[in-house]
């Protein structure tokens, strides 16, 4: 073969090979664009785009009158796109020094030169999503937007601000442990109403599309595939802020006075079981008292003398004793086997009626009555206690209820001492709320109702679920026994162990309790110190009970530990406040008022919420524009919607708004807010239209 033929042959092979490759490439393109198109598009999107959750705004927790107990306010995570497409090198170089100086002054963290170094390094790395700071308030964000470079916006200046919602408690630690925590932000647990009503409060997260940037960061992009989040519902509690404030303040002062370890106070509405106040305070290492555990719900301890009420009611119900029976308490001591039980009065009380035994809280008298009548049949006594629902959990709306315990003759630790010990509140464990529920049943003529913390679930102001009063037992004892029990409880305050609680305006019925308690693993005594628990539980007004209350104070100073002195004053202060509100309740309107048909006050605020309220109420309204913030005007049978003017340099007009909307609008304007009252905003100071100047505070007066 000649050289010419060899060249032609080789060229032909190359030519044919190229044709084959071209055809193969063309076929592959056809396959990719048609047959495998969806596969590769999906794979491309998987690595370039992703769908993340868009968190829903958590619902509010409200007091019984609608005031905020917990709400979510916006905070921001601030990032910088150091390689934003509109950011020229000239713009960067001429503004970076001013930006870094502003960052050092506005959010700190490091010096201006330190900021310049980290931002310059981030730009060299091509970072598109460099974190500046998390949890930035709106007022700080406004200052950042005025800084050199950042004031050019996201496209040229690279400023990215992503909103996040932060949970706040407008009343600080008031009922903190009952309200609870929405995240694992305090002690790693979800507790209280926040935890128990998580499903209702959380809402439903939406979906948002994000695009992968150079360097591996992700940036949110607008896309039709994004799904709006559904915000959570509001939970309306039974808690009354004024009564809660009094309970917490009175408890804190008494704990400090007696240098106690911890304590709790609960106020319950007799007929409904609504918890109007619940305070739990614990002495911490800094010497102050905080809400760190819900003792009222979760701490199950030996109650001491407050347990004498169900004990003597059991004897009355079984017909083995009556309130007029005489008991000889002798010199104030009685011995059962190797255990000596004593009364607090030196020399004893001598002969007492059963009613007086209860009023004087005689351990000797109570133990003699129970031992004499039940020593041959202890099972009948304990079963009677169980029949009054004392051995059952209350199955509360919030989690963490302590386990009740009453030693039973079938228990392997039952002994000859068990009857006399149970008679004055030992070998028994109950939580304060379980004891209160029993006393509340006596006040309620025998009807035991379940304690209630939450009354309603609302969505944008409309009730979607209501929790009615639940009856645990229609009658824990016969009417005759309930009547006698009430007389005994009234006698404790009239001429028994709690005469210091007598009041000329109204009558209190209740029982003192003083118990030695076991401390950790040291038993009832640690060295020379004996640990005590002082309590008082009862109801008022005695003749027509409206509220029941319990106060328990744990480990007061050894010198003063009696229930009437330590716990009684807290009960009295709470009772005084509650009683003062009884006659200030709204009176029913006239027949003319009841038959009058008017449009409800839609108020001013967030457009979506107001329109939904109007729709759900069946009220006609005229839609006007699409402004986010609106005001409403009533014109005949129609509500007219008008835009609410806002200016970022002026204080907005929040009159007629709910507290939640007012807080959102004012705090997003960089203003701090103080408020009093309940309902909608009636007055604001400074007035709307005032120029915002520095860290201003706006005071709101709310009214119905």
Per residue in 602-634, pLDDT tens?
678 777 777 777 777 777 777 666 777 787 776
Give the pLDDT band (50/70/90) at residue 595. Answer: very low
| Structural element, H or E, at residue 376 | none
Find the mean pLDDT for residues 21-28: 81
β-pair type (638-643, 289-290): unpaired
β-pair type (159-168, 49-54): unpaired
Single out the residue of 322, 341, 323 nearest to residue 332, CA to CA: 341
Q: What is the pLDDT of residues 528-560, one digit of tens each?
A: 567 889 999 999 999 999 999 999 999 887 677
Tracing tokens 């905080």 back to the chain, one arrives at 290
The predicted pLDDT at position 524 comes to 59
Q: Say if residue 696 is preceded by a cis peptide, omega within 30 of 0.
A: no
**Contacts (Cβ under 8 Å, ≥6 apart) of 99:** 115, 119, 147, 148, 149, 150
**Which tokens in the block code for residue 626?**
């699409």
Find the mean pLDDT for residues 287-311: 95
Give the pLDDT band (50/70/90) at residue 692. Answer: confident
The predicted pLDDT at position 567 comes to 95
| Structural element, H or E, at residue 374 | helix 363-374
**Which tokens in the block code for residue 600?**
């409800």
The predicted pLDDT at position 594 comes to 39
CA atoms within 13 A of residue 342's CA, in its CB half-sphere: 8
In angstroms, the CA 423 to CA 317 distance is 15
Give the pLDDT band (50/70/90) at residue 219. Answer: low
Q: Is 107 helix (H, G, I), strand (E, B) or coil?
A: coil
Find the mean pLDDT for residues 627-655: 75
In angstroms, the CA 193 to CA 177 distance is 9
State the pTM of this model: 0.73
Q: Which residues pair with 538 in a beta bridge?
A: 510, 549
Do the Cβ atoms of 391 and 404 come closer than 8 Å?
yes
Q: What are phi and psi of 256, to 5 degrees?
A: -65, -45
**Which tokens in the block code for residue 602?**
């839609």
In angstroms, the CA 576 to CA 509 distance is 14
CB count, 10 Å around CB of 610?
25
**Which tokens in the block code for residue 614?**
């109007």
Q: Please, what is the Cα angle at 674 between 670 and 677, to 5 degrees?
A: 140
pLDDT exceeds 80 at position 51: no
What Cα–Cα distance (Å) separates residue 74 from each residue in 54, 140, 651?
Answer: 14, 12, 18
Do the Cβ atoms of 66 and 679 come closer than 8 Å?
yes
In angstroms, the CA 291 to CA 317 distance is 40
Q: Say if residue 541 is preceded by a cis peptide, omega within 30 of 0.
A: yes
C-alpha torsion sign, points 393, 395, 396, 398: positive
């Amino acid at each position: 073969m000649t050289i010419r033929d060899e060249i032609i042959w080789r060229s032909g092979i190359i030519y044919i090979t190229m044709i084959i490759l071209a055809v193969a490439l063309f076929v592959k393109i056809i396959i990719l664009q048609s047959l495998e198109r969806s596969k590769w598009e999906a794979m491309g999107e998987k690595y370039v785009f992703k769908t993340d959750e868009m968190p829903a705004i958590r619902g509010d927790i409200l007091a019984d009158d609608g005031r905020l107990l917990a709400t979510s306010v916006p905070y921001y995570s601030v990032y910088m796109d150091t390689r934003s497409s509109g950011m020229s090198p000239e713009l960067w170089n001429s503004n970076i020094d001013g930006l870094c100086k502003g960052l050092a002054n506005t959010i700190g963290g490091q010096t201006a030169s330190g900021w310049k170094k980290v931002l310059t390094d981030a730009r060299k790395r091509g970072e598109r999503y460099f974190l500046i700071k998390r949890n930035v308030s709106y007022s700080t964000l406004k200052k950042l937007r005025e800084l050199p470079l950042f004031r050019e916006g996201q496209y040229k200046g690279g400023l990215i601000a992503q909103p996040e919602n932060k949970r706040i408690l407008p009343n600080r630690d008031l009922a903190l442990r009952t309200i609870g925590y929405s995240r694992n932000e305090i002690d790693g647990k979800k507790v209280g109403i926040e935890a128990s009503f998580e499903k209702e409060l959380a809402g439903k997260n939406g979906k948002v599309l994000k695009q992968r940037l150079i360097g591996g960061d992700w940036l949110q992009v607008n896309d039709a595939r994004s799904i709006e989040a559904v915000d959570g519902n509001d939970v309306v509690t039974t808690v009354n802020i004024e009564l809660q404030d009094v309970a917490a303040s009175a408890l804190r002062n008494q704990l400090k006075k007696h240098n106690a370890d911890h304590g709790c106070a609960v106020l319950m509405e007799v007929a409904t079981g609504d918890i109007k106040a619940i305070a739990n305070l614990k002495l911490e290492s800094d010497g102050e008292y905080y809400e760190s555990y819900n003792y009222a719900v979760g701490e199950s301890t030996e109650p001491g003398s407050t347990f004498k009420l169900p004990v003597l009611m059991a004897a009355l119900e079984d017909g083995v004793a009556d309130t007029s029976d005489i008991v000889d308490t002798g010199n104030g001591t009685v011995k059962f086997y190797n255990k000596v039980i004593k009364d607090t009065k030196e020399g004893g009380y001598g002969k007492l009626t059963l009613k007086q035994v209860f009023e004087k809280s005689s351990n000797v008298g109570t133990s003699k009555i129970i031992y004499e009548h039940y020593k041959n049949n202890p099972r009948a006594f304990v079963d009677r206690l169980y029949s009054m629902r004392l051995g059952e959990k209350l199955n509360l709306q919030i989690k963490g209820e302590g386990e009740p315990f009453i030693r039973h003759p079938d228990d392997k630790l039952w002994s000859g001492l068990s009857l006399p010990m149970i008679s004055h509140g030992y070998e028994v464990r109950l939580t304060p709320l379980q004891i209160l529920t029993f006393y509340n049943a006596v006040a309620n003529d025998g009807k035991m109702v379940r304690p209630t913390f939450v009354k309603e679930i609302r969505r944008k102001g409309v009730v979607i679920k209501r929790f009615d009063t639940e009856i645990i037992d229609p009658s824990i004892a016969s009417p005759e026994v309930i009547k006698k029990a009430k007389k005994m409880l009234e006698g404790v305050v009239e001429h028994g162990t709690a005469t210091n609680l007598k009041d000329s305006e109204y009558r209190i019925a209740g029982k003192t309790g003083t118990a030695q308690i076991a401390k950790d693993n040291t038993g009832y005594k640690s060295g020379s110190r004996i640990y005590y628990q002082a309590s008082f539980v009862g109801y008022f007004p005695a003749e027509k009970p409206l509220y029941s209350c319990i106060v328990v104070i744990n480990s007061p100073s050894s010198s003063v530990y009696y229930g009437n002195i330590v716990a009684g004053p807290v009960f009295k202060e709470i009772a005084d406040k509650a009683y003062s509100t009884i006659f200030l309740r709204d009176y029913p309107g006239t027949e003319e008022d009841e038959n009058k048909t008017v449009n409800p006050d839609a108020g001013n605020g967030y457009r979506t919420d107001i329109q939904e309220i109007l729709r759900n109420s069946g009220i006609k309204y005229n839609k006007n524009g699409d402004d986010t913030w609106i005001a409403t005007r009533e014109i005949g049978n129609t509500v007219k919607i008008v835009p609410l003017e806002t200016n970022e340099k002026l204080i907005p007009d929040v009159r007629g708004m709910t507290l939640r909307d007012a807080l959102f609008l004012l705090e997003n304007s960089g203003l701090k807010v103080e408020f009093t009252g309940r309902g909608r905003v009636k007055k604001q100071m400074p007035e709307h239209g005032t120029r915002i100047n520095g860290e201003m505070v706006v005071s709101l007066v709310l009214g119905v």
